[in-house]
């Protein structure tokens, strides 16, 4: 009798939790119930990495996102060191992240940090143009890696990073955390299982970038190693607008919002389509950069075509822009819309909706395709450190996802309609020679691959 009663109580508790979660998230009951069940299964004990199951990790790149990741990771490991070429960033990180009663070691050169045996993993929060070299060096040192997105500055760099991670058998989680979101996973599972019929079109709205300038040179701050910060990029006079928060608006260091927010939303579109890459890309710049100012195109439209005929449209909108006012464009917010022969689904970080509520409310069949389950992106990384399984956004996924973004940026920069071969990872056909010059970039010495040899 006691056993039967405990089962009843447990079931009632599960139902209450399911209903509360559904009410809080706006997700249908069937999906929440399945998610809670999968979460319970995933909570089974796993083999620890170390006797106390608290791996040591370090932060490389102490800006806002990197520091946030490092703080998040404290739930699973012990932060031992921080590294940045800007001493003010190091000092701020030490002030905010030092564990009570302990001391954080500090570095200005990440290669020295990687020599330590007590550091099992790094969080790479550097600017985009440093991601690849830091990740390759960490892989060679046998460290697992949580790398901010986009994974690379160029498509060619992705090949080098994938090779290093595979060769040295380390775990790499790309920081496209939307893959660990219930809303995005649900949307992709519904699309993959034909809930909206045959997928016809994916529309992505990204925040517009900055359009400003011209900017004059200034004195390099005493606390910043400007040469090291520039790394592989061509040497330039210091301008505050080139550094830190706004670096992504310069093609020297990034790909604009196409590779910034695009690394999130276009990754979800790629997940839903289920194909490695589009084969056609065309684009239109809606505004041109101001001479002497930011070089990345701030407002644009890009159209990708996949081999199965799916059209993937990307448009910028001032809405949700980290730099501008919140304004709606074409009635849409920053997010993704999947349109099929039988309906549409809209999803972003705040909501999921459809043209017909039944598209979301009706449960998927028991034998429906299920996607990788993770409700905690950082937690998934640390779990995979212990199990040695591939994380939800491993190095190959991060590379392929970044590639789609780079294709859009290259089309915008060349002002060309281009043909892409996903197998060889090169452009073919008309304008291929011009476009392929952007697949890789010349690295300024000494900050090339020999720097981490």
| pLDDT value of position 318 | 73
Q: Domain for residue 67, yes or no? A: no
| pLDDT value of position 41 | 74
Q: Domain for residue 62, yes or no? A: no
CATH number where 244 lies: 3.30.360.10
Q: Domain for residue 284, yes or no? A: yes
Q: Which CB contacts under 8 angstroms, 24+ apart, belong to 442-445?
A: 443/232, 444/230, 444/231, 444/232, 444/233, 444/234, 444/235
**The domain containing residue 19 runs over which residues?**
2-42
| pLDDT value of position 43 | 64
| pLDDT value of position 307 | 96
- For the segment 50-85, what is each residue's pLDDT rounded down to a tens digit? 546 799 999 999 999 999 999 999 999 999 999 999
d(CA 193, CA 198): 9
Residue with tokens 């498509």: 155
Q: Domain for residue 132, yes or no? A: no
Quick check: 25 and 183 in contact, CB under 8 A? yes
Instruction: Report CA-CA distances (Å) from 258 to 117, 135, 305, 433.
Output: 38, 22, 17, 22
| pLDDT value of position 12 | 60
Q: Domain for residue 64, yes or no? A: no
For 78, the enclosing helix (H) or strand (E) is: strand 78-83
Half-sphere exposure of 281 (CA within 13 A, CB side): 30
| pLDDT value of position 39 | 78
Q: Within the chain, which residues score under 50 in pLDDT?
A: 1-9, 48, 51, 320-331
Q: Reading across the β-sheet that carries 311-317, which strands appear in turn?
A: 352-354, 343-347, 335-340, 199-207, 311-317, 300-305, 280-285, 418-421, 426-428
d(CA 272, CA 187): 8
**Kind of pairing between the strands at 280-285 and 300-305:** antiparallel
Q: Domain for residue 283, yes or no? A: yes
Q: Domain for residue 320, yes or no? A: yes
Q: Domain for residue 137, yes or no? A: no
| pLDDT value of position 334 | 86
d(CA 361, CA 30): 8
Structural domain total, the chain: 2
Strand-pairing partners, residue 428, are 419
Quick check: 227 and 306 in contact, CB under 8 A? no
């Amino acid at each position: 009798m006691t056993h039967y009663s405990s089962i009843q109580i447990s079931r009632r508790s599960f139902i209450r939790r399911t209903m509360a979660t559904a009410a809080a998230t706006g997700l249908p009951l069937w999906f929440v119930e399945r998610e809670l069940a999968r979460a319970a299964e995933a909570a089974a004990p796993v083999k620890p990495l170390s006797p106390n199951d608290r791996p040591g990790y370090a932060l490389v790149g102490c800006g806002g996102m990197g520091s946030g990741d490092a703080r998040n990771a404290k739930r699973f490991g012990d932060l031992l060191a921080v590294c940045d070429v800007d001493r003010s960033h190091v000092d701020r990180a030490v002030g905010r992240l030092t564990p009570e009663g302990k001391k954080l070691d500090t570095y200005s050169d990440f290669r020295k940090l990687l020599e330590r045996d007590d550091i099992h993993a790094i969080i790479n929060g550097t600017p985009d143009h440093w991601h690849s070299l830091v990740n390759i060096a960490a892989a060679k040192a046998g460290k697992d890696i949580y790398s901010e997105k986009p994974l690379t500055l160029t498509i060619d760099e992705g090949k080098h990073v994938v090779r290093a991670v595979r060769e040295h058998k380390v775990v790499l989680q790309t920081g496209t955390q939307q893959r660990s979101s219930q809303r995005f996973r649900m949307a992709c599972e519904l699309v993959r299982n034909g809930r909206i019929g045959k997928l016809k079109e994916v529309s992505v709205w990204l925040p517009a970038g900055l359009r400003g300038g011209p900017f004059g040179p200034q004195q390099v701050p005493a606390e910043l190693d400007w040469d090291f910060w520039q790394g592989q990029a061509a040497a330039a006079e210091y301008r505050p607008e080139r550094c830190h928060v706004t670096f992504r608006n310069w093609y020297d260091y990034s790909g604009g919002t196409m590779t910034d927010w695009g690394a999130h939303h276009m990754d979800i579109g790629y997940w839903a389509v289920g194909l490695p890459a589009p084969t056609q890309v065309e684009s239109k710049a809606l505004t041109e950069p101001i001479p002497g100012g930011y070089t990345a195109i701030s407002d644009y439209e890009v159209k990708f075509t996949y081999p199965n005929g799916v059209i993937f449209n990307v448009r910028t909108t001032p809405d949700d822009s980290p730099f501008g006012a919140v304004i709606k464009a074409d009635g849409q917010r920053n997010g993704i819309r999947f349109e099929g022969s039988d309906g549409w689904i809209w999803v972003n970080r705040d909501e999921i909706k459809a043209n017909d509520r039944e598209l979301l409310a009706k449960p998927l069949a028991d034998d429906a395709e299920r996607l990788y389950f993770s409700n905690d992106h950082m937690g998934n990384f640390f779990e995979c450190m212990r199990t040695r399984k591939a994380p939800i956004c491993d190095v190959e996924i991060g590379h392929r996802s970044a590639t789609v973004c780079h294709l859009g940026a290259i089309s915008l920069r060349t002002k060309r309609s281009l043909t892409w071969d996903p197998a060889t990872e090169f452009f073919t056909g008309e304008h291929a020679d011009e476009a392929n010059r952007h697949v890789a970039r010349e690295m300024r010495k000494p900050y090339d691959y020999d720097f981490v040899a």
